[in-house]
């Protein structure tokens, strides 16, 4: 991308999109197009086509998606598969139709089988059963990958796909009904501290392991890939470092300063037992993460304290 290239950032208000917008601006990209949901509903084909016909972006970051944690995915599977299928199909097809030079589609590590070998290599996609609690969302994201591959094979479009590990950062969703594990835990421990609660209840056994990537590291990676990667196969983005959720819980407890007890509710689902991405492929392109977990959690909690009201 040139600094004056016309860049469309689809999904600029969320966790990833807002960070990517700030990152692009900090790197002096000057011609960035964004649209709020009230101006452009990406689920509507006619609206998307009119937008692309008018704006003619050269580069597209497809970040927009309906996202949530285990509870949200399990409770609203119809919305998770429908909304995400519509968004990606409309944007990818219009990017092809109106001559976009390059598109980056952002997926998720939940595309991989529940019992995939660890760390998860890109080629493990579609080699086993998906995690049932987020199957609808995962199938939508897998469809997005296949869309990009198909347009590349049939038409030669330079459409690439990036699969990040679990993300966290400022502007995350802290609603306990729909949030991912990291912001949910920060919120629970903060509320417990504020209310003087003797205990905080955490879902599951605490035994699963996860890998977490600070959102600013991710957006650095996305810009890096847009400028340095052009292959049919999707590429993992992560740290390559796992942490058991029990240890994550106690790390967040320490950062927040909660002094009560932690109780694991083992009647609640754990989700996938282990998930860590093999990041050799992206390391080979010259990118590595910079922000370690405790530093990142402190940044997020600081942001939450300043913005929770």
- Least reliable range by pLDDT among 109-113, 230-234, 271-275: 271-275
Determine the average pLDDT of the residues in 270-276: 83
Quick: pLDDT tens for 275-300.
899 999 999 999 999 999 999 999 99
Determine the average pLDDT of the residues in 232-245: 97
Tokens of 59: 């580069």
Quick: pLDDT tens for 74-133.
889 999 999 999 999 999 999 999 999 999 999 999 999 989 999 999 999 999 999 998
192 labeled binding residue: no
141 labeled binding residue: yes
Determine the average pLDDT of the residues in 237-241: 97
For position 305, what pLDDT does the model report? Answer: 97
pLDDT of 69 over the 80 cut:
no
166 labeled binding residue: yes
Determine the average pLDDT of the residues in 59-83: 91
Mean pLDDT estimate for the chain: 95
What 3-state DSSP class applies to 103?
A: strand
236 labeled binding residue: no
Are the beta carbons of 239 and 83 closer than 8 angstroms? no
Question: Which one, of 112, 133, 110, 144, lies nearest residue 42 by Cα?
Answer: 144
In whole angstroms, give the CA distance from residue 278 to residue 293.
Answer: 18
For position 70, what pLDDT does the model report? Answer: 76
Quick: pLDDT tens for 159-208.
999 999 999 999 998 988 878 889 999 999 999 999 999 999 998 999 99
pLDDT of 243 over the 80 cut:
yes
Annotation marks residue 137 as catalytic:
yes
How many other C-beta atoms lie within 10 A of the C-beta of residue 244? 14
Catalytic residue (one of 137, 168, 301, 304): 137
Q: Which residue has the higher pLDDT, 186 or 134?
A: 186
In whole angstroms, give the CA distance from residue 278 to residue 205.
Answer: 25
200 labeled binding residue: no
Look at strands 209-210 and 243-244 and give their pairing. Answer: antiparallel
Quick: pLDDT tens for 206-228.
999 999 999 999 999 999 999 99
203 labeled binding residue: yes
Give me the phi and psi of 74, to 5 degrees please: -75, -30
Query: What structural domains does the chain harbor?
Result: 7-168+213-239+277-291 (3.40.50.720)
Quick: pLDDT tens for 3-13.
999 999 999 99
Quick: pLDDT tens for 26-42.
999 999 999 999 999 99
With pLDDT > 70 as the criterion, what percentage of the chain qualifies?
Answer: 100
For position 89, what pLDDT does the model report? Answer: 98
């Amino acid at each position: 991308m040139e600094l004056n290239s016309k860049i469309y950032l689809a999904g600029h208000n969320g966790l990833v999109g807002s960070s990517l917008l700030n990152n692009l601006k900090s790197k002096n990209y000057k011609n960035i197009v964004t649209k709020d949901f009230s101006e452009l509903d990406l689920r509507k084909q006619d609206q998307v086509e009119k937008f692309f016909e008018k704006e003619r972006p050269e580069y597209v970051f497809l970040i927009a998606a309906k996202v949530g944690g285990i509870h949200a995915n399990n409770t609203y599977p119809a919305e998770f598969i429908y909304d995400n299928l519509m968004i990606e199909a409309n944007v990818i097809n219009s990017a092809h139709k109106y001559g976009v030079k390059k598109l980056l589609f952002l997926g998720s590590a939940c595309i991989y089988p529940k019992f995939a070998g660890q760390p998860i290599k890109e080629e493990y996609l579609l080699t086993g059963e998906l995690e049932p609690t987020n199957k609808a969302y995962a199938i939508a994201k897998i469809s997005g990958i296949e869309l990009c591959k198909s347009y590349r094979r049939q038409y030669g479009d330079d459409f690439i796909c990036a699969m990040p590990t679990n993300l966290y950062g400022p502007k995350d969703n802290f609603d306990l009904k729909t949030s991912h594990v990291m912001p949910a835990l920060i919120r629970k421990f903060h509320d417990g501290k504020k209310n003087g609660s003797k205990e905080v209840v955490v879902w599951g056994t605490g035994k699963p392991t996860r890998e977490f990537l600070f959102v600013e590291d991710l957006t650095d990676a996305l810009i890096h890939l847009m400028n340095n990667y052009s292959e049919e196969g999707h590429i993992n983005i992560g740290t390559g470092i796992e942490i058991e959720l029990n240890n994550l819980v106690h790390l967040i407890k320490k950062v927040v300063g909660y002094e009560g007890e932690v109780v694991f509710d083992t009647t609640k689902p754990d989700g996938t037992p282990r998930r860590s991405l093999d990041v050799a492929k992206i390391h080979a392109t010259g990118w590595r993460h910079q922000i370690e977990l405790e530093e990142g959690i402190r940044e997020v909690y600081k942001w939450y304290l300043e913005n929770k009201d």
